[in-house]
Structure 1
Amino acid sequence: MTRYLLDTNILSNVVKPVPSEALLAWMAAQADEDLYISTFTIAKIWRGILEKPAGRKRDQLEAWFSGPEGPAALFVGRVLPFDEKAALVWAQLMADGTSRGRPRSALDTIIAAVGAANGCVIVTDNDKDFAGVDTINPMRG
């Protein structure tokens, strides 16, 4: 069994009005119990909603986020934290990027560290910030 940690951009794509067909096909082929998200992904999504101006679109996103189709509800029991083990992996990934002259995005590297610390393959459309950890990009057809 392979465990997959979905990057924020994967969840964002799935809820678009016209999501990637390749991504939807890949998601449909996976067992729900093999798909995870991180607490940091929940934070990034909520931040994005809070930064939207007040209005109908923000209200819809808030309702989705808090409702039965929102990330916390869909992934109940499958939300991985940024804990001490992930913190140590994060530090190593950040240091490796710096020593190679390729600084990493600190925020995306948190998701990479959570995945690596929990033995997950990262599912992302952002290969650059996840160099050095196992990734898959189902949108690359």
Structure 2
Amino acid sequence: MSMVYMLDTNICSFIMRERPPAVIERMQAAAEGQHGIAISVITYYEMLLGTVGRKAAPRHAALVEAFVARLSAILPWERTAAEQAMSIHKNLTARGTPIGGNDTMIAGHAIAADCVLVTNNTREFARVEGLRVEDWATM
């Protein structure tokens, strides 16, 4: 595999809903190009949150499991990811432009794992130095 794409939660949601078509086409092209397609365990947690509670759709759990079965990996949270996330938090807080906690952890995880983060939330993630970001919904 020449590159690993780490999908953010919003891109996973697009793929599970099978829209917009641009996201599906880009994912297929990445897979055909022998690139890895993974998610952070943080993203998996966020996806699992949608399977519980009053607003949970009964079929959501099955959709999540079918989706993750097609991935190259669910990347585990490790020490280097935590250290990268802490560095991001420190830098963005010092500049007065912090991002959410889960987004900070996902960004740190992507940097630590040398992945390209695929997200539709480029406004937030563009603030993170050293993070490679793509938005498949607008490509």
Task: State the TM-score, normalized to the length of structure 1.
Answer: 0.86
Aligned residue pair count? 133
Counterpart for residue 59 of structure 2? 60
For residue 50 of structure 2, what is the aligned residue in structure 1? 48
Q: How far is 1:64 from its partner?
A: 2.5
Matched to 1:82, the amino acid is W
Shift of 1:52: 3.9
8 A Cα contact 2:16 2:63, kept in partner: no
SS of 1:122's equivalent in the other structure is strand
Indicate the SS of the match to 1:15. helix
TM-score normalised to structure 2 length = 0.87
Q: 2:70 aligns with which of 67, 74, 82?
A: 74
Provide structure 2 residue ranges, at least 5 long, that are not aligned to the other structure.
none
Q: Which residue identity lines up with residue 64 of structure 2 in the other structure?
A: F
Q: Deviations over 1:46-66 (max 9, x none)?
A: 112213446xxx221123334
Q: In the alignment, is residue 28 of structure 1 matched against residue 21 of structure 2?
A: no
Moved more, 97-106 or 125-134: 125-134
The runs of at least 4 aligned residues of structure 1 exceeding 4 Å deviation read none
TM-superposed deviation, 1:118: 0.4
8 Å contact from structure 2 (residues 50, 60) kept in 1: no
- AA of the residue aligned to 1:74: R
